[in-house]
Amino acid sequence: MTTLKIPTPLRAYTSGQSEVNVTGVKISETLTDLVSQYPALKPHLFNDNGGLRPFVNLFVGEHNIKDLQGVETPIKDSDRIMLIPSIAGGCRHCEDGAFPSEAISNTLRGIASSRRTRALLAMTESTGRNL
């Protein structure tokens, strides 16, 4: 059986399992087996059209399936598949490409308990530059 490694954020949907045994000769078949074992994972992996969500990355060994044959990538029983979701975030300021230094300074001030953070805050304030 092929082993599929589950990332921490998705383990809540696999009863805490960090690794799941799946069957199939292609990535698509292993994913079908995975969601049949853990149906709650399906909306986190697939869009409404049944396609793999763009932020879901699957690796066979060290190779991203996006660089291979996608979900049609063949696999062997001895392969280890890693599921790695992309992590994204942002703020309304980021959309404009602007990072207001006062907002960053205020954030740093709020967490200025470490010597490094205080030094970074002092450096940004003395130069007057945006981070």
pLDDT of residue 47: 92
Arithmetic mean of pLDDT over the chain: 79
The pLDDT tens digits for 29-62 are 999 999 999 999 999 999 999 999 988 999 998 8
Residue 39, amino acid: P
Which has more confidence, 4 or 115? 4
Looking at residue 38, its pLDDT comes to 97
Same-domain status, 50 and 12: yes
CATH code where residue 66 lies: 3.10.20.30
pTM for this prediction: 0.65
Q: Is the predicted pLDDT of residue 94 greater than 50, yes or no? A: no
Query: 79 near 2, Cβ under 8 Å?
Result: yes
Tally of structural domains, the chain: 2
Checking if the pLDDT of 6 tops 90, the result is: yes
Residue type, 56: V
Contacts made by residues 84-92, CB under 8 angstroms, sequence distance 24+ = 84/7, 84/57, 84/58, 84/59, 85/7, 85/9, 85/10, 85/44, 85/55, 85/56, 85/57, 86/55, 86/56, 86/57, 88/55
30 and 67 within one domain: yes
Task: Say how far apart CA 52 and CA 46 lie, in whole Å.
Answer: 4
Are residues 79 and 29 both part of a single domain? yes
d(CA 36, CA 46): 13
Structural domain containing residue 65? 2-85
Same domain, 15 and 65: yes
